Amino acid sequence: MSIVANKDTRLVIMGGPAGVNAARRMAEFCHLMSMPFYVKAFVFPPDAGKNAEIPVGNKILSIPIYRKMAEVSENHPDVNTCLVYIGADRALAAATDALNAPGIKVLSMITEGVPERDSKLLRRLAIEKGKVFNGPSSIGIVSAGQCRLGVVGGSYDNLVLSKLYRPGSMGVITKSGGLLNEIIWMCSQFADGITTAIGIGGDAYPGADFVTFLDMFEKDPDTKAVVLVGEMGGNAEEMAADWLAAKPRRIKVVGVVAGFCQEALPKGMKFGHAGAKEGQKGEGSARHKSDRLRSAGATVPETFGGLGPSIQKVYNDLRAAGKIKPIAEADHEKLPRLPKTIEESIKTGEVMVPPFVKSTICDDRGDEPCYAGYPASELINKGYDIPHVVGLLWLKRLLAPHEAEIIRRIVMLSADHGPCVSGALTTIIGASAGIPLAQAVASGMSMIGPRFGGAVTDAGRYFQMGVERGMPVPEFLAYMKKNVGPVPGIGHRVKSLRNPDKRVKELVGYVKSLGIPTPVLDYALEIEKTTTAKKDTLILNVDGAMGAILVDLGFPIDALNGFFILARTIGLIGHWIDQRRQDARLIRLPAYLANYATEPKRAVPEMEGAPEKLVGAKS
């Protein structure tokens, strides 16, 4: 058996993320016990109406979140216990609400820093209503094999190691939450484990105290002995001693009190929990409390180090007296294990997950992204530039200085070409219609194709074909005429031999000045000589020049349009910002700019086999 928390406990948690986290720990306990999850509801007004998702084993349960306790009482009449994880400024209101709910029998509060007046008011209310109010500052309550209220018990491994999956014979009551696990562990090592363990918190005026729970343990036949861990300050330990001495008790009591160090400290210096505020050697001191407990009949070791052997001695005596039967030890290997997350399993090498994507250019798993293995910050610090990043992410190699310079020039020359071209105009129309940056720029981008900016790839492709096949220029032109049509990268709407495209001149001039081998560019210039002889607008245009040069640099053919896209993105973003800055009006084509070559207006004939409904609706 157990006290306060058991198999019939049904819980509401008041609180937000901390409460949800505690619920997850309680779900781990349920998984260990293969028992249904007993947290039925949360009360947390900011999230009211939502659900908290709690993994229980390998399933996810949705637990409703309410605004008020009354809603919990209405929807979950079986809820009988409340845990309070609300901040100190709202804890009084929340706990009052819960204690007033008829179904609630036990309330435990983890909140720290609750004003003393509030604790006292809650204690009074609980006493008037015949309910248990435990805390504030309570780490929680756990009954082995039955119920866990709060994060007490710690990690899943610790639940198993401390044998919390089955009841033993020892009760535990501590002020310190941090020590509760330690004592549970000691009871599992020096005795046969616990029935129920309770943290009452170290506040000056806790709702429940040692005596509250000693009384309950005395009535629980499975609890044979109780371990108390006290602290200097207050008189809870003295009251426990009085309880023990008042009449013969069935349960044995082992006690230890922290705070002997006070005797050796400079006067006035105190530390520990809020309740630890009494004198040095008199009432409230660790020595006074220990002496009182000892003379009342408790087993009280001289120091904490003697606690384990004391527990063992009390346990052995009870065994010898036949009051405790040995418990067959469970095989820990056979207990349910906590399902691991994929991440944990991958870490320990237990599973192999086929990758969903594969990346060979960029790894972001460290402190910063690495481009083809090179950390971005190191590239910056060593003077590399945007063209090198393009080289690393597109070609997976560090570009030579002249290559980087060519790319830099290409981007600079193609960044924008005014508002009238398809891409820019589309972006401008988008901006004037009020659509966001990404969508407006993407609209402009979607214009890039065979007639606008998209000729770089094809120009590179065919020029390279001509070079690779060793086709003389006339043969190439004949091939193109027969199989493709106009030669991509050749010809311009306005530019001509007499009115050359300055961008092309600049780019070609620079590349030729480098003295590097440029077979594809040379071939394209040969083609230009022939085509301009026929018609002087059939010049090598900027797409053609870029395509030829980039093929010479070794960029993959399919990526060549990327340079235009990259460069023109700068311009399109600029156009969007420009329109926004001007608060440009919506662009609507005036009707006089449209040629309405439609049928004249006429009557719509009746539809054959129209559904009756539609025919009826008409009349």
Residue 556 lies near another protein (rule: CB under 8 A): no
Angle between helices 437-445 and 422-432 (to 10 degrees): 150
In this chain, which of 4, 14, 214, 258 binds another protein, going by CB under 8 A?
A: 258
User: Which residues, 6 or more positions from 601, have their beta carbon under 8 angstroms from its beta carbon?
Assistant: none
In this chain, which of 181, 310, 432, 541 binds another protein, going by CB under 8 A?
A: 181
Binding segment toward another protein, per CB under 8 A, in 70-78, 176-184, 324-332, 403-411: 176-184
Q: How far is the CB of 180 from another protein (least distance, A)?
A: 7
In this chain, which of 48, 88, 245, 425 binds another protein, going by CB under 8 A?
A: 88
Residue 279 lies near another protein (rule: CB under 8 A): no
Q: Which residue, 31 or 575, is less far from another protein as judged by CB? A: 31
Q: Which of residues 41-80 bind another protein (CB under 8 A)?
A: none
User: Which residues, 6 or more positions from 43, have their beta carbon under 8 angstroms from its beta carbon?
Assistant: 12, 13, 14, 15, 65, 66, 67, 68, 69, 71, 72, 94, 97, 98
Binding segment toward another protein, per CB under 8 A, in 113-121, 244-252, 556-564, 603-611: 113-121
Binding segment toward another protein, per CB under 8 A, in 28-36, 156-164, 315-323, 376-384: 156-164
Q: How far is the CB of 318 from another protein (least distance, A)?
A: 21
Q: How far is the CB of 289 from another protein (least distance, A)?
A: 13
Q: Is 402 a catalytic residue?
A: no
Residue 244 lies near another protein (rule: CB under 8 A): no
Residue 259 lies near another protein (rule: CB under 8 A): yes
CA dihedral over 525, 529, 534, 538, signed as positive or negative: positive
Q: Which residue, 142 or 520, is less far from another protein as judged by CB? A: 142
Catalytic residue among 273, 288, 492, 575: 273
Residue 91 lies near another protein (rule: CB under 8 A): no
β-strands 132-134, 140-143 pairing: unpaired
Strands (E), 232-361: 252-258
Q: Which residue, 25 or 288, is less far from another protein as judged by CB? A: 25
Residue 243 lies near another protein (rule: CB under 8 A): no
In this chain, which of 34, 51, 75, 158 binds another protein, going by CB under 8 A?
A: 158
Residue 17 lies near another protein (rule: CB under 8 A): no
In this chain, which of 83, 101, 172, 180 binds another protein, going by CB under 8 A?
A: 180
Q: Give dist(CA 376, CA 214) in Å, integer.
A: 65
Residue 522 lies near another protein (rule: CB under 8 A): no
Residue 178 lies near another protein (rule: CB under 8 A): yes
Binding segment toward another protein, per CB under 8 A, in 40-48, 121-129, 336-344, 431-439: 121-129
In a 3-state reduction of DSSP, which class is residue 210? helix
Q: Which residue, 161 or 516, is less far from another protein as judged by CB? A: 161
Q: Which residue, 243 or 564, is less far from another protein as judged by CB? A: 243
Residue 282 lies near another protein (rule: CB under 8 A): no
Residue 445 lies near another protein (rule: CB under 8 A): no
Cα–Cα distances in angstroms (integers) from residue 148 to residues 27, 85, 118, 211, in the given order: 9, 15, 26, 21
List the x/- string, 191-230, binding to another protein by CB under 8 A.
Answer: -----------x--x-----------------------x-
370-371: strand order across its sheet = 362-363, 370-371, 374-375
Per-position DSSP letters for 361-421, written without gaps between them:
SEE-SSSS-EETTEEHHHHHHTT--HHHHHIIIIISSPPPHHHHHHHHHHHHHHS---SSS
**DSSP one-letter code for 68:** S
Cα–Cα distances in angstroms (integers) from residue 545 to residues 410, 422, 462, 463, 532, in the given order: 10, 21, 12, 10, 15
Cis ω before 519 (30° cut-off from 0): no
In this chain, which of 247, 282, 303, 618 binds another protein, going by CB under 8 A?
A: 303
In this chain, which of 49, 221, 248, 266 binds another protein, going by CB under 8 A?
A: 266
Q: Measuring CA to CA, which residue among 131, 233, 113 is closest to residue 122?
A: 131
Residue 616 lies near another protein (rule: CB under 8 A): no
Residue 269 lies near another protein (rule: CB under 8 A): yes
Binding segment toward another protein, per CB under 8 A, in 177-185, 428-436, 456-464, 533-541: 177-185
Q: Which residue, 171 or 387, is less far from another protein as judged by CB? A: 171
Q: What are phi and psi of 576, to 5 degrees?
A: -65, -50
Q: How far is the CB of 132 from another protein (least distance, A)?
A: 16
User: Which residues, 6 or more positions from 402, have their beta carbon under 8 angstroms from its beta carbon?
Assistant: 514, 516
Per-position DSSP letters for 552-597, written without gaps between them:
HHT--GGGTHHHHHHHHHHHHHHHHHHHHHHTPPPP---GGGS---
Residue 185 lies near another protein (rule: CB under 8 A): yes
Q: How far is the CB of 137 from another protein (least distance, A)?
A: 9
Q: Which residue, 90 or 417, is less far from another protein as judged by CB? A: 90
Residue 346 lies near another protein (rule: CB under 8 A): no
Q: Give dist(CA 172, CA 170) in Å, integer.
A: 7
Number of residues that bind another protein (CB under 8 A): 63
Cα–Cα distances in angstroms (integers) from residue 207 to residues 133, 138, 278, in the given order: 5, 10, 19
Q: Measuring CA to CA, which residue among 65, 122, 63 is closest to residue 98?
A: 122
Residue 131 lies near another protein (rule: CB under 8 A): no
Using the CB atoms, write b or e for 19-53: b if 16+ within 10 Å.
bbebbbbbbbbbbbbeeebbbbbbbbeebeeeebe
356-361 LR contacts (CB < 8 Å, sep 24+): 360/396, 361/392, 361/393, 361/396
Q: Give dist(CA 550, CA 560) in Å, integer.
A: 7
Which active-site residues does the annotation give? Answer: 273
Q: Which residues would be at the binding site for another protein (CB under 8 A)?
A: 21, 25, 88-89, 113-117, 120-121, 123-124, 139, 151-155, 158, 161-162, 174-182, 185-186, 202, 205, 229, 231-232, 258-261, 263-274, 276-277, 286, 302-305, 307-308
